[in-house]
C-alpha cells in the first residue's frame, strides 16, 4: 500500500507540487509513495503540471487506515477527513504549526520560508543529498514563484531566492519573470468562472477564539479584472458565511502589481477589521496597502483581534 502524500484542501500550486516532489524524494529513499490532492486543480496548477509533464494526482479526501504524509499544512481544518484514523508519517510545511498530533515520532520539517517547495529543496539537497530531477525542479520552482508572488510577498526569504536560482538552472527555465507572469495570468483568470469557484480558488477556514472564520484570496495582475464582479463576490461570501455557521468571511482581492489588497468583508462584528488593520470598512470593503500574504499579514492580526 502506497504512502499517500497530501496537501491542503482547495489545493494551490505549492500543495500540489510539494506532494509530487515529496513523493519523488520518498521513492528515491525506497518508500512506495503516491501524491494526492484533496480537490480540483486551480488553473495555475493545471498549467504548471502541463508545462513540466505531470499528470493530475489522484484525489484523496479521507485517510482512514492509510499511511500518509502532509505537505503545506498541519491544521486539522485543512487536512483530509479522518486524519486521526490513519497513520501520519511526516509533515513538510512552512506555516504556523497547526493542531495535528501523533502518537509516534515522525519527520516534522517546518521552516519559516516562503514555500514548501523551498523546504523540499533543502531536504533534497542538504538532508538526503539527492539530485532533483529536472521536471520536479520545475514544479518546485513554480511553487516558490507562486507562493512568494515572485519574491514580493513578505513571507519571502533569502532561502527562497537561492532555491529559485538553483532550481531554475536544474529545470532549464531561463525566463523566470516570463514564466511567473504566465502563471500569474492563469492564477488570476476570472472571465467566465462561476463565482463560488473564484471564492474557493484559494480559500481556507480557520478557528479564531472559537469562531469560524473563512479567508479566501484572489491574486490578480489588476483589480480591474474583478471590478464588475465585486457585488457578486460579496453576495457569495455572505452566502458562504451563512452556510457554514461562520462568524466572518473575508475575500482578499490582491493586486500583485500595485502590491495591496482590497478586502471584502462579511462579518458579525465589523470592529474586528478595524482592530486588526487599523482601517474602517467602507461599505463592503477596505483597502490594505502592502498586504499580500494571508499567512503573515491577515491571520496573525485577525487572531489578535478575535482574542
Chain-centre distance of CA 72, in angstroms? 7
The stretch among 13-21, 22-30, 44-52, 277-285 that binds Mg ion (CB under 5 A) is: 13-21
Residue of the chain from 24, 147, 205, 262 that contacts Mg ion (CB under 5 A): 147
Cell of 200: 474557493
Nearer to Mg ion, 162 or 269 (CB): 162
Nearer to Mg ion, 14 or 236 (CB): 14
Do the beta carbons of residue 12 and residue 146 sit within 8 Å?
yes
Nearest CA to 218 out of 85, 59, 43 is that of 43
Least distance (Å) from Mg ion to the CB of residue 79? 13
Secondary structure of residue 126 in the 3-state scheme: helix
- Please state, in angstroms and rounded to a whole number, the distance separating the CA atoms of residues 252 and 94: 21
Residue of the chain from 24, 44, 72, 75 that contacts Mg ion (CB under 5 A): 72
Secondary structure of residue 230 in the 3-state scheme: helix
- Please state, in angstroms and rounded to a whole number, the distance separating the CA atoms of residues 107 and 90: 5
Least distance (Å) from Mg ion to the CB of residue 114? 8
- Residue 288: beta bridge partners? 261
Count residues near Mg ion (CB under 5 A).
6
Do the beta carbons of residue 19 and residue 47 sit within 8 Å?
no
Residue of the chain from 12, 44, 160, 205 that contacts Mg ion (CB under 5 A): 12
Binding mask 228-267 for Mg ion (x = CB under 5 A): ----------------------------------------
Do the beta carbons of residue 180 and residue 188 sit within 8 Å?
no
Nearer to Mg ion, 120 or 265 (CB): 120
The stretch among 4-12, 128-136, 157-165, 299-307 that binds Mg ion (CB under 5 A) is: 4-12
160 lies in the binding site for Mg ion (CB under 5 A)? no
Nearer to Mg ion, 44 or 72 (CB): 72
Do the beta carbons of residue 200 and residue 243 sit within 8 Å?
no
- Cβ neighbour number for residue 9 with a 10 Å cutoff: 20
The stretch among 66-74, 82-90, 129-137, 152-160 that binds Mg ion (CB under 5 A) is: 66-74
Least distance (Å) from Mg ion to the CB of residue 31? 22
The stretch among 29-37, 109-117, 169-177, 259-267 that binds Mg ion (CB under 5 A) is: 109-117
Nearer to Mg ion, 37 or 276 (CB): 37
Cell of 189: 483568470
Residue of the chain from 5, 9, 14, 25 that contacts Mg ion (CB under 5 A): 14
CA distances for 281 relative to 153, 200, 245, 263, 298, angstroms = 24, 23, 22, 9, 15
Nearer to Mg ion, 24 or 72 (CB): 72
Strands (E), the chain: 3-6, 33-37, 58-59, 67-71, 87-93, 107-110, 203-208, 211-220, 248-255, 260-267, 285-289
User: Which residue, judged by CB position, is nearest to Mg ion in the bound state?
Assistant: 14
Which residues make up the interface to Mg ion (CB under 5 A)? 12, 14-15, 72, 116, 147
Amino acid at each position: 500500500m502506497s504512502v499517500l502524500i497530501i496537501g491542503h484542501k482547495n489545493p494551490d500550486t505549492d500543495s500540489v507540487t510539494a506532494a509530487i516532489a515529496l513523493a519523488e524524494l520518498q521513492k528515491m529513499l525506497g518508500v512506495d509513495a503516491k501524491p494526492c490532492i484533496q480537490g480540483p486543480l486551480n488553473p495555475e496548477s493545471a498549467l504548471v503540471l502541463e508545462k513540466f509533464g505531470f499528470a493530475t494526482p489522484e484525489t484523496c479526501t479521507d485517510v482512514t487506515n492509510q499511511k500518509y504524509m502532509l505537505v503545506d499544512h498541519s491544521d486539522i481544518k485543512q487536512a483530509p477527513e479522518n486524519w486521526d484514523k490513519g497513520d501520519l508519517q511526516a509533515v513538510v510545511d512552512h506555516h504556523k504549526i497547526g493542531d495535528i498530533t501523533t502518537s509516534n515520532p515522525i519527520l516534522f520539517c517546518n521552516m519559516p520560508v516562503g514555500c514548501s517547495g523551498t523546504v523540499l529543496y533543502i531536504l533534497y539537497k542538504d538532508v538526503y543529498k539527492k539530485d532533483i530531477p529536472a521536471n520536479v525542479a520545475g514544479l518546485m520552482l513554480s511553487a516558490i514563484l507562486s507562493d512568494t508572488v515572485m519574491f514580493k510577498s513578505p513571507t519571502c526569504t533569502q532561502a527562497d531566492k537561492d532555491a529559485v536560482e538553483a532550481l531554475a538552472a536544474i529545470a532549464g527555465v531561463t525566463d523566470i519573470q516570463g514564466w511567473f507572469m504566465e502563471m500569474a495570468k492563469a492564477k488570476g483568470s476570472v472571465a467566465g468562472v462561476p463565482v463560488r469557484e473564484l471564492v474557493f480558488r484559494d480559500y481556507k477556514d480557520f478557528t479564531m477564539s472559537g469562531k469560524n472564520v473563512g479567508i479566501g484570496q484572489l491574486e490578480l495582475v489588476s483589480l480591474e479584472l474583478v471590478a464588475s464582479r465585486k457585488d457578486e463576490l460579496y453576495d457569495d461570501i455572505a452566502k458562504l458565511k451563512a452556510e457554514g455557521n461562520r462568524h466572518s468571511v473575508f475575500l482578499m482581492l490582491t493586486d500583485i502589481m500595485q502590491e495591496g489588497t482590497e478586502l471584502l468583508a462579511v462579518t458579525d462584528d465589523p470592529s474586528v477589521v478595524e482592530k486588526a488593520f487599523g482601517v474602517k470598512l467602507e461599505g463592503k470593503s477596505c483597502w490594505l496597502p502592502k498586504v499580500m500574504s494571508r499567512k503573515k499579514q491577515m491571520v496573525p492580526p485577525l487572531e489578535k483581534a478575535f482574542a
